[in-house]
């Protein structure tokens, strides 16, 4: 089955890719509706940048950024809230969000109390310093053990829908990111639905330059091919959701790769294997 496409809507002045573009509420709402028209099954609204080195924002600022946008989008498309703050998660659910996208993997009690879905993402360290010196023994095994333990705690607490996400770029070198993408099927074999976000991330800039012989890494707005290719790879490994900026291109590529329908359920590997490369 084709994975769910989560469209990214950062209502922030400083996100690494779309920072500043949608910080005005009206423009953010328009863009969220456009992502839905392009085929996003869910729009992920965030009001605090998590890019490496980002400074935290206060609760009132984050609430003012996300709540009006969620209220406007929720009648039209499923909305998730990308936050690390319990109060923002609660307000977002009150405004219509039904999934908490949690890069700290620490808000499962809020998801249980509100009876909404929860994405547990892996991060080593915290955004300000996470890229200073990320280190693992076996990155795939360590990320998987962490996520499965968090998911089990959430399910035991009564969270109705639990996703796991390896957190590409969050306290990881390029080698760690590639290892996690290559090892994604291990994560999927846990039986938990897996979400993956590679879209426009830095490791793709370097990889794309290496592939085409450019002198410097591809800039953040020139990473479309790498973003779509890795989303497809993730889908091929069994991911049930891909988090992307370029919704139209990703939806088209997933469609062209041959799988039918959209699912948040376990992925039908057999169907994909037989249809993907026809």
Which of 98, 101, 177, 237 contacts ligand PMM by CB under 6 A?
A: 101
For the record, the structure tokens of 176 come out as 């760690």
Q: Count residues near ligand PMM (CB under 6 A).
A: 19
Q: Which residues contact residue 273 at a Cβ distance below 8 angstroms, ignoring those fewer than 6 apart?
A: none
Cβ proximity to ligand PMM: between 171 and 197 the closer is 197
Cβ neighbour number for residue 177 with a 10 Å cutoff: 24
* Span near ligand PMM by CB under 6 A; candidates 44-52, 55-63, 154-162, 269-277: 44-52
Q: Which of 193, 198, 174, 183 is nearest to 237 (CA)?
A: 183
Point out which residues pair with 3 in neighbouring strands: 263
103 binds ligand PMM (CB under 6 A): yes
Q: Tell me which residues are annotated as active site.
A: 201, 243
16 part of the interface to ligand PMM, by CB under 6 A = yes
Q: Between residues 167 and 226, which has the closer beta carbon with respect to ligand PMM?
A: 167
Q: Is 78 helix (H, G, I), strand (E, B) or coil?
A: strand
For helices 174-182 and 139-157, give the axis angle rounded to 10 degrees.
70
Least Cα distance to 99 among 152, 35, 50, 165 occurs for: 165
Q: Judged by CB under 6 A, does residue 168 bind ligand PMM?
A: yes
- Considering only the stretches 10-18, 184-192, 208-216, 246-254, report the one whose residues sit in contact with ligand PMM under the rule CB under 6 A: 10-18
Name the one range near ligand PMM by CB under 6 A: 56-64, 163-171, 230-238, 264-272. 163-171
Q: Does 8 sit near ligand PMM (CB under 6 A)?
A: yes
Q: Which residue is nearest to ligand PMM (CB)?
A: 197
Token pair 């935290």 is found at: 56
- Transcribe 161-202 into DSSP letters: -EEEE--TTSS--HHHHHHHHHTHHHHHTTSS-BEE--TT-H
Give dist(CA 173, CA 159) in Å, integer: 32
Q: Which stretch binds ligand PMM (CB under 6 A): 15-23, 59-67, 130-138, 208-216?
A: 15-23
Nearest 10 degrees: CA dihedral of 251, 20, 14, 227? 20
Which residue in the set 3, 50, 74, 207 belongs to the binding site for ligand PMM (CB under 6 A)?
A: 50
195 binds ligand PMM (CB under 6 A): yes
Nearest to 234 by CA among 208, 259, 217, 210: 259
57-86 residues near ligand PMM, rule: CB under 6 A:
82
Question: Could you give the string, one character per residue 112-151, with x where binding to ligand PMM holds by CB under 6 A and - elsewhere?
Answer: -------x-x------------------------------
**Residues that bind ligand PMM in the complex, under the rule CB under 6 A:** 8, 10, 15-17, 46, 50-51, 82, 101, 103, 119, 121, 165, 167-168, 195, 197, 243
């Amino acid at each position: 089955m084709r994975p769910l496409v989560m469209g990214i809507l950062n209502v922030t002045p400083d996100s690494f890719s779309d920072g500043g573009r949608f910080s005005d509420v009206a423009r953010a709402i328009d863009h969220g509706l456009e992502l839905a028209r392009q085929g996003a099954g869910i729009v992920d609204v965030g009001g605090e940048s998590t890019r490496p080195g980002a400074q935290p924002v206060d609760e009132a600022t984050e609430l003012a950024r996300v709540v009006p946008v969620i209220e406007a989008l929720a009648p039209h498309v499923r909305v998730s809230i990308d936050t690390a703050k319990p109060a923002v998660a609660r307000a977002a659910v009150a405004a219509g969000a039904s999934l908490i996208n949690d890069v700290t993997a620490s808000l499962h009690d809020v998801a249980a109390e509100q009876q909404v879905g929860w994405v547990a993402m892996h991060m080593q360290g915290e955004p300000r310093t996470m890229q200073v010196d990320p280190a693992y023994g076996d990155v795939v095994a360590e990320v998987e053990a962490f996520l499965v333990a968090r998911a089990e705690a959430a399910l035991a607490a009564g969270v109705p829908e639990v996703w796991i996400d390896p957190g590409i770029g969050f306290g990881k070198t390029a080698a760690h990111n590639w290892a996690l993408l290559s090892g994604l099927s291990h994560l999927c074999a846990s039986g938990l639905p897996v979400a993956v976000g590679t879209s426009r991330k830095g490791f793709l800039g370097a990889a794309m330059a290496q592939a085409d012989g450019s002198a410097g890494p591809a800039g953040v707005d020139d990473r479309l091919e790498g973003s779509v290719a890795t989303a497809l790879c993730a889908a091929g490994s069994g991911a049930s959701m891909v988090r992307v900026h370029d919704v139209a291109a990703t939806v088209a590529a997933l469609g062209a790769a041959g799988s039918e329908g959209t699912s948040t359920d376990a992925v039908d590997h057999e169907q994909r294997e037989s249809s993907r490369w026809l």
